[in-house]
């Protein structure tokens, strides 16, 4: 049986108790004591890669980082296309700067959860300006959430819009508009870059900005990376001047915004027809290399036929996205519409066909390429061979609320006449 401490011992312990009642403190990292302008998300592991270890979802982690650091950046986002990553690579090559990656990993396991790509434009005496693409490598849900977070906290959001039929234009922008209305939306400036001519875009742009406090501008149709860069840099330059005049806040400059070096070969009308006049202060430009020309695959004789075929398919009522792909590799050849993109439709379509073909062989029902119609919660999927093109298949996505599956299958069957006519 222990002896209770004497009153003298108890008094001595009480007198030192306050020294042990110290709140938990976080030891700052060495880089946190440096210039605040140099602070960044994650830790560098190579000249072109940073890593961020998290215990939550990637989108939530990015939101926390952006809330804390409040960096200045431009976000490139795709609707109905997959062009933002290509534009980012082109801008990086033109400016002589590398495309960098931020890899978000699970704390404790190191499992990669998401990978973001960006280009930094450092400036003397100011924090750098970053150019993000929202086309991230992550699962579908986190990819959408990361895109929302990146757009939400951006100083300028740039939306690149593909060749969408009029009946899909409004619904393609609906998730973005809902996020702008229902959430704590920080972004106040958006630039819409149409990659195809669309009469419905102006109405959609007006609806997008209504009641949100976001200034939405639309450019003329953009057909080259140089034109896109001209509009982006010009809009940033004007925004930079406007914010400096109104709030006295100096934003980092965007290299090439003053000169044609950043967009060689851009026609004069591309700059004149920008949505706002460009009259920025003179900024010493960074030496820029010519913007690399795109190098599409060698055109094939059947491309025109299949192109017309896909163009007619996307015009069907309720058609959301359609792709023609190689059944063996899942590689997409042609795509039209919104998300899912051609790569996703090709890969998953190839996997579905392979599974059905295996089942058919196992059951002794032949080796012909299967045809399938799958009904999901909100959409229908159609998978079928492309007539007269062995090794190619069609994967189509239809909105259940706007499409009749039976009628759609009949209409697609009638469109085989496009391919039959070329064969004759």
Q: What is the pLDDT along the chain (424 residues), one digit of tens a residue?
A: 556 556 555 566 555 555 555 444 444 455 554 544 457 899 999 999 999 999 999 999 999 999 999 888 999 999 999 899 999 999 999 888 999 999 999 988 888 999 999 999 887 666 788 999 999 998 888 999 999 999 999 999 999 999 888 888 888 999 999 999 876 899 999 999 999 888 889 889 988 988 888 999 999 998 888 889 989 988 998 888 887 666 566 677 776 544 333 443 333 333 333 333 333 333 344 344 444 443 333 334 345 788 888 888 888 888 888 999 988 888 888 888 877 888 889 889 888 988 888 888 888 877 777 888 889 888 889 998 888 888 899 999 988 877 888 888 888 888 877 676 655 5
291/66 Cα distance (integer angstroms): 30
Tell me the CA distances in angstroms from 72 to 126, 129, 249, 305, one per residue in order. Answer: 11, 6, 12, 46
Domain 303-423 belongs to what topology? Beta-Lactamase (3.30.450)
Same fold, 35-272 and 303-423: no
Instruction: Give the model's pLDDT for residue 98.
Output: 93
Instruction: Give the model's pLDDT for residue 259.
Output: 39
Instruction: Give the model's pLDDT for residue 130.
Output: 93
Instruction: Give the model's pLDDT for residue 10.
Output: 56
Instruction: Give the model's pLDDT for residue 365.
Output: 79
Instruction: Give the model's pLDDT for residue 353.
Output: 87
Instruction: Give the model's pLDDT for residue 2.
Output: 54
Token pair recorded at residue 266: 């851009």
Distance of CA 127 to the CA centre of its chain: 24
Instruction: Give the model's pLDDT for residue 290.
Output: 44
239/241 Cα distance (integer angstroms): 5
Instruction: Give the model's pLDDT for residue 283.
Output: 36
CATH of domain 35-272: 3.40.50
Instruction: Give the model's pLDDT for residue 244.
Output: 67
Instruction: Give the model's pLDDT for residue 261.
Output: 36
- The 3-state DSSP class for residue 181 equals helix
Instruction: Give the model's pLDDT for residue 14.
Output: 59
Residue ranges per domain, the chain?
35-272, 303-423
The interaxial angle of helices 166-182 and 201-209, nearest 10 deg, is 10
């Amino acid at each position: 049986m222990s002896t209770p401490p004497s009153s003298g011992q108890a008094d001595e312990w009480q007198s030192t108790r306050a020294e042990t009642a110290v709140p938990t403190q976080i030891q700052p990292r060495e880089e946190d004591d440096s210039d605040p302008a140099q602070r960044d998300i994650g830790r560098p592991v190579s000249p072109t890669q940073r890593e961020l270890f998290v215990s939550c979802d990637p989108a939530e982690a990015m939101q926390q980082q952006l809330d804390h650091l409040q960096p200045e950046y431009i976000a490139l986002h795709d609707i109905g296309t997959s062009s933002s990553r290509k534009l980012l690579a082109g801008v990086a090559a033109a400016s002589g700067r590398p495309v960098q990656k931020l890899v978000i990993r699970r704390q404790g396991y190191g499992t990669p959860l998401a990978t973001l790509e960006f280009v930094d434009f450092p400036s003397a005496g100011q924090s750098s300006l970053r150019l993000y693409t929202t086309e991230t490598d992550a699962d579908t849900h986190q990819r959408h959430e990361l895109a929302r977070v990146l757009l939400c906290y951006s100083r300028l959001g740039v939306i690149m819009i593909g060749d969408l039929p009029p009946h899909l234009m409004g619904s393609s922008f609906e998730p973005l508009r809902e996020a702008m209305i229902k959430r704590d939306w920080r972004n106040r400036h958006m630039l819409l870059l149409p990659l195809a001519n669309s009469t419905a875009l102006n109405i959609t742009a007006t609806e997008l900005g209504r009641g949100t406090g976001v200034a939405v501008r639309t450019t003329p149709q953009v057909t080259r990376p140089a034109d896109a860069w001209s509009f982006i840099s010009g809009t940033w330059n004007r925004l930079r001047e406007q914010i400096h005049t109104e709030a006295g806040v100096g934003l980092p400059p965007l290299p090439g915004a003053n000169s044609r070096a950043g967009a060689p070969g851009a026609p004069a009308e591309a700059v004149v027809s920008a949505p706002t006049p460009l009259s920025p202060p003179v900024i010493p430009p960074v030496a820029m290399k010519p913007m690399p020309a795109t190098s599409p695959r060698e055109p094939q004789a059947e491309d025109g036929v299949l192109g017309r075929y896909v163009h007619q398919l996307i015009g069907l009522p309720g058609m959301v996205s359609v792709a023609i792909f190689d059944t063996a590799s899942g590689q997409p050849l042609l795509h039209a519409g919104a998300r899912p993109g051609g790569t996703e439709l090709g890969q998953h379509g190839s996997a579905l066909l392979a599974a059905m073909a295996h089942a058919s062989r196992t059951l002794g029902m032949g080796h012909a390429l299967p045809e399938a119609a799958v009904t999901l919660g909100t959409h229908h999927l159609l998978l079928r061979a492309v007539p007269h093109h062995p090794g190619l298949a069609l994967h189509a996505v239809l909105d259940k609320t706007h499409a009749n599956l039976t009628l759609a299958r009949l209409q697609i069957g009638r469109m085989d006449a496009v391919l039959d006519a070329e064969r004759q």
